[in-house]
Amino acid sequence: MSRSLITRFYLVRHGPTHAKTMIGWSDLEADLSDQGTLDRLSAYLPKAAVMISSDLRRAVATADCLQGPNHMRLAHDPNLRELHFGAWEGQSHAMVDSHSPKELRAFWEEAGDVAPPLGESWNKMHARVTQSLRQLAQGHQGHDIIIVAHFGAILGMVQYALSCSVQTVFAHKIDNLSATVISFNQEKWSLEQINLCP
């Protein structure tokens, strides 16, 4: 397979929010004061690539910091948002455990179709994120694509590339301002690098 037919995705997790609670669709700002890390990450990313982010401020601002003169920026995509924690948004695990221990345990230990009250399940998040991933692969075949997104969204894309279970992908770590690389060669998806922290 020629290199020109490989579509490579650089999945970047946004800068830290320092929140200690469940933050999904809450639109918090990112701390982007670590210029050294941003510079190293920018140097690692391809210089001429398509760039897209979720529409949440922490992802948009991180993409703004990383965008180079030769990056083609696409419109922000709400399908690349973090998992929506619904009624649990803004609460710590301890807080949720104090009033909904069975529901919280099921959400993590039986992840899939279990959803927080007024929120979304892992499978629903996975479906919207991977829909955007496939559309990008089809629309920008053979290009490098930088996606600035969130912990859950990136894990969902890794799960898709590996064709693995939710519990298997939960074993992986995705740090803020890290890069994870997956690729598509018109026949199969592959994981090339996970959680690289330049």
Q: Distance between CA 59 and CA 42 in Å, rounded?
A: 15
Whether the Cβ atoms of residue 136 and residue 145 lie closer than 8 Å to each other: yes
In the chain, what are the domains? 3-196 (3.40.50.1240)
What distance lies between CA 78 and its chain's CA centroid?
A: 12
What is the C-alpha R_g of the chain?
17
Q: Would residue 150 be called left, alpha or beta, if left means φ above 0 and alpha means ψ between -120 and 50 degrees?
A: beta
Q: In which element (H, E) is residue 148 found?
A: strand 144-149
Return per-residue pLDDT of the chain as tens, 198 residues: 444 589 999 999 999 999 999 999 999 999 999 999 999 999 999 999 999 999 999 999 999 999 999 999 999 999 999 999 999 999 999 999 999 999 999 999 998 999 999 999 999 999 999 999 999 999 999 999 999 999 999 999 999 999 999 999 999 999 999 999 999 998 899 999 999 998
Three-class SS state of 172: coil
Q: What is the pLDDT of residue 78?
A: 98
CA distances from 151 to 19, 24, 96, 102, 178 (A): 13, 10, 20, 24, 10
- Supply 46's token pair: 């391809």
Burial class (CB in 10 A: 0-12, 13-18, 19+), 99: exposed
